[in-house]
Amino acid sequence: MTRLSAASRVAAAVSAPGYAPAAHAAGIVHIGVGAFHKAHQAVYTDAALAAAGGDWRIVGVSLRSADVAAALNPQDGRYILVTRDEAGDGARLIASIDRVLVAPDDPQAVVAAIADPATRIVTITVTEKGYGLDRATGGLDRGHEAVAHDLASPQRPAGLVGFLVAGLAARRARGLGGLTVLSCDNLPENGRITARLVGEFAALVDGGLAAWIAANVRFPSSMVDRITPAATARTFADAERLSGHADHAAVETEPFTQWVIEDDFAAGRPAWEAGGALFVATVAPYEQMKLRLLNGTHSLLAYAGFLAGHETVAEAVRDPGLRAIAERQMQAAAATLPPVPGIDLDGYRAQLVARFANRAIRHLTYQIAMDGTEKLPQRILAPLAETLARGGDAAPFAFAVAAWMRYCLGVGDAGEPYALRDPRERLIAPRVAEAGRDAARLYEALSSLPGLFAPELAASGALRAAVVPLLAAMLEHGMAGAIARQG
Ligand code: CS2
């Protein structure tokens, strides 16, 4: 089997990169090199390098596992991107990643990479739970495991904010300039959040550093979108079929891709527009649209779909009853949005349903169901709270809330257990156990989780009245029965 690094021998089906990778030095450190990064930012960077050159290759960082480094480093960071829709598969070789560091093996190498004079941007995809955001205050959660660890040993960090602050401190100590920190996670105003968490952490370590960061580091927000399931044996088999190379770093994704970025960079940026990125002055309307319409519907389909026996999003959205509930929620969520420049929201919603229905992508409902307490606030609870504040109806969002609560039981309708996979599961489990299968008690137990429901939601009688009967129906008739009863 040929190795992927032998670019000259790449099979005809996959074209070689449109640039000489080794001729471009690294300029970006990316924290969280998972499937999403490989299907999104790395692809835009690959396009930018081909179109405009520059020293913008990527040094990837894995905060936990050594798997990505083990797969990518032996093949010089290259991998096959498989794009799937019902018309067939495409494949492309991506060469923008230079190398991958494994933080737990060598945290100092990560700090050194951020503090390298060549580094001008640090991009991030660590998922919502990686930030250490206290939802109640909007600031740093000092009880977050990685934050607590890193505050206790700022020289040897383990988490996102600790690494950013240690790397920036090292830049300042070396007399280097600032850089841009670009969050690419599904959080509203992700740049603003990152700036605040980094600023608060830095102030606790060294007040002078916090002032230096405020003066020298930019934190633009960005909205990212590409449906990217976890890679499986099928991904690897198809990458090999399409490219002629065994590649256990291959990743699969849908054809659609979107990246909207605030054009506010401290030290330049790649020509990401070559890959289709849109640069704007303020990204908030795009982020809200995506979080509330795409991700909010995803979460509904994940909880209700998983419990109704649908393994994938495509199956869930093709269930006519669930599809109707999803359409209703999308319509109500769209009504909370400000106008989004250049976007027709009806068209966007229709496109989303078509993307969800793509059967060539096996996006597991169980994958999306994880980390519910980190996802619900911006996806479901925020548009719900705004709707109630305007005197609107809670009903269109109530099914998603009830389905998440039902999911928190950790056992399916046939009695089969599953792992909740939520950072707050140790808080959730005793509450759920105490409430039993009593819908009203379950509602109280979960709506009062600290920092989850905003006070006005937790106190809303209208919301309770909309959710509790649905939850009772789910418990009594099963999820499939509850969906059928909505028709
Ligand atoms: C999904 C997202 O796993 C999830 O929670 O909703 O990963 C979603 O697929 C992406 O945001 C699409 O851009």
Work out the number of other CB atoms within 10 angstroms of the CB of residue 411. 14
Atom of ligand 1 nearest to the CA of 186: 11
Q: What angle do helix axes 395-407 and 439-447 make, rounded to 10 degrees?
A: 90
Question: How far, in Å, from the CA of 37 to the mean position of ligand 1?
Answer: 12
The rounded distance, in Å, linking the Cα atoms of 76 and 22 is 10
Model pLDDT, residue 3: 54
Mutate which of 125, 256, 294 to test ligand 1's pocket (most atoms within 8 Å of Cβ)? 294
Give the distance from CA 232 to its chain's centroid.
Answer: 19
Model pLDDT, residue 247: 96
Model pLDDT, residue 415: 97
- Is pTM, for the whole model, over 0.85? yes
Nearest residue CA, atom 10 of ligand 1? 227
Model pLDDT, residue 127: 98
Question: How far, in Å, from the CA of 297 to the mean position of ligand 1?
Answer: 10
Model pLDDT, residue 13: 61
The four Cα atoms 328, 329, 330, 331 give a dihedral, to 10 degrees, of 50
The rounded distance, in Å, linking the Cα atoms of 32 and 127 is 8
The rounded distance, in Å, linking the Cα atoms of 8 and 164 is 38
Work out the number of other CB atoms within 10 angstroms of the CB of residue 155. 12
Nearest residue CA, atom 3 of ligand 1? 368
Nearest residue CA, atom 8 of ligand 1? 227
Nearest residue CA, atom 11 of ligand 1? 225
Model pLDDT, residue 341: 94
Residues 363 and 342: beta-carbon distance below 8 Å: no
Which amino acids bring their CB within 6 angstroms of ligand 1? Answer: 186, 225-227, 294-295, 298, 368, 375
Model pLDDT, residue 72: 98
Mutate which of 36, 297, 422 to test ligand 1's pocket (most atoms within 8 Å of Cβ)? 36
Model pLDDT, residue 233: 97
Atom of ligand 1 nearest to the CA of 40: 13
Question: How far, in Å, from the CA of 1 to the mean position of ligand 1?
Answer: 34
Atom of ligand 1 nearest to the CA of 371: 5
Mutate which of 38, 40, 44, 186 to test ligand 1's pocket (most atoms within 8 Å of Cβ)? 186
Question: How far, in Å, from the CA of 127 to the mean position of ligand 1?
Answer: 10
Model pLDDT, residue 412: 98
Mutate which of 299, 366, 368, 379 to test ligand 1's pocket (most atoms within 8 Å of Cβ)? 368
The rounded distance, in Å, linking the Cα atoms of 34 and 256 is 18
Question: How far, in Å, from the CA of 229 to the mean position of ligand 1?
Answer: 9
Query: Whose structure tokens read 């700022």?
Result: 154
Atom of ligand 1 nearest to the CA of 295: 6
Atom of ligand 1 nearest to the CA of 298: 6
Q: Which regions of the chain are under pLDDT 50?
A: 1-2, 6-12
